Structure 1
Amino acid sequence: MTDENLTLPAVLVEAHTAGFFHEHSGHDFDPYDTFMGSGEMIEWWQNWTNDPMAGAPPFRAFGQDGTGGLAAFWLRNPGHPLDRQSVVFLGSEGEYTLIARDLGDYLWLLANGVGPLETVDGIERVPEPIPALTTIAQRHTGSARRSTTEVIAAAQAQFPAFEALLNAHAPAE
């Protein structure tokens, strides 16, 4: 038995259950009820990097797409609160990107009607704001609406550091 804390932040659970994923039928994302356990995350990371010796990854996965790609917090700044860590996507085919610079920005993506993986695959519809999620994002962040463009630009500003981390774990060719 482990005493690993797998509890998701309450605001993340609230946002994921506020109806977004049920209202957008073509959306390919399954939020988890808890974080992926560390043993399963290590195994996933070893497979993803093709390195059976890869240690514990700096990620806490909270959902996946239909192919097994993960949405996760990137624990970039040890010791900082989880809601201040970046949100990333690690695809089953090796694709990766930053989704949001922190939990607040992730909530704004949802509030703007944009799912986490649409930032990877592209937004193929006209997103419409979701009032219930706007309320959650405003309550959590204390800020006015952040546009999808602003959220993605802020995340991409951190991309070089994310890419350097992943390149350090890429298998030798």
Structure 2
Amino acid sequence: MEITDDREFPAALAALGGIDFPWEYDEEADEAAASNMDYEPYQEFDSAEETTGWIRAWTGNQELTGDAFRVFGQDGTGGLAALWLVRPGPLTAQPVAFFGSEGEVGVVATSLGEYLWLLAGGVGPLEAVEFGTDSGVPNDELRAVAEKYSGSEPRTPAEVLAAAKAEFPDFAETVQSWCR
């Protein structure tokens, strides 16, 4: 399969850039407030050079390039959300993967449209990998983006994450095989 070199930012991701993702930490409870997602959307993809530098640093594998990823957001610790270009079709049809700052990894949605429903349910990529889908509070503004750009019927975060895990059950092992 030929990997596309397309770096045109999808309209759905651009729409997320106009939404505030507040993040608050409750020191007394030693946890994030339940209605928060630790997510910072980008306005454009990281460059090919930045993406290659990141995947090499993350895996310790200097033979890798970033060609199979389009990084489009992060959490407050530096964990990254990226489209993983593993199937034929446009960028919007690619699964969304999360690479945490402490080694957490996971595919959190089978496509960009599914990812929008995950966010609409109040679950960001970090939360999906770390805590599952019980941590979110639905967000009307994100739901409007999902309704406009997803191209699919509404999905719960649990449905989105279950489909991602079913389609990509070996993602963590795949990533581990890249590490040196």
Is the CA contact 2:109–2:164 (under 8 Å) kept in the aligned structure 1?
A: yes
1:121 aligns with: 130
Q: Tell me how far apart the structure 2 counterparts of residues 65 and 96 of structure 1 sit (CA, whole Å).
A: 13
Output aligned runs, 1:62-101, within 5 Å. 62-77=72-87, 79-101=88-110
Change (3 A) 1:168 1:39: same
CA distance, structure 1, for counterparts of residue 63 and residue 152 of structure 2: 43
Aligned-pair identity (%): 41
Q: Distance in 2 between matches of 1:17 and 1:136?
A: 10
Q: TM-score, normalised by structure 1?
A: 0.82
Q: Secondary structure of the residue that 2:125 maps to in structure 1?
A: coil
Q: CA deviation at 1:94?
A: 1.9
Distance 1:160 1:109 in 2: 18
- Picking from 19, 30, 51, the partner of 2:40 is 30
Q: Go from structure 1 to structure 2 and tell me whether the alpha carbon gap of 1:61 and 1:142 turns closer, same or farther (over 3 Å shift).
A: closer
SS at match of 1:71: strand
* Alpha-carbon shift at residue 164 of structure 1 (Å): 4.6
In the alignment, structure 1 segments of 5+ residues that lack a partner are none
Retained in 2: the 8 A contact 1:111–1:129? yes
Q: How far 1:5 moved relative to its partner? A: 5.8
Report what 1:14 is aligned to. Answer: 15
Amino acid at match of 1:114: V
Deviation at 1:142, TM superposition (A): 4.0
Instruction: State the Cα deviation string for residues 11-70 of structure 1 (Å, max 9, x = none).
Output: 112134233x13x54532221111011111111111111122323351110011222221
TM-score (ref. length: structure 2): 0.80
Give the SS at the match of 1:18: coil
1:47 is aligned to 57
Please give the per-residue CA displacement for 1:81-109, whole angstroms capped at 9, x wherever unaligned.
11110001011222201111111111101
CA distance in 2, matches of 1:155, 1:16: 24
Contact persistence 1:45–1:57 (CA under 8 A): no
The 3-state SS of whatever aligns with 2:115 is: helix
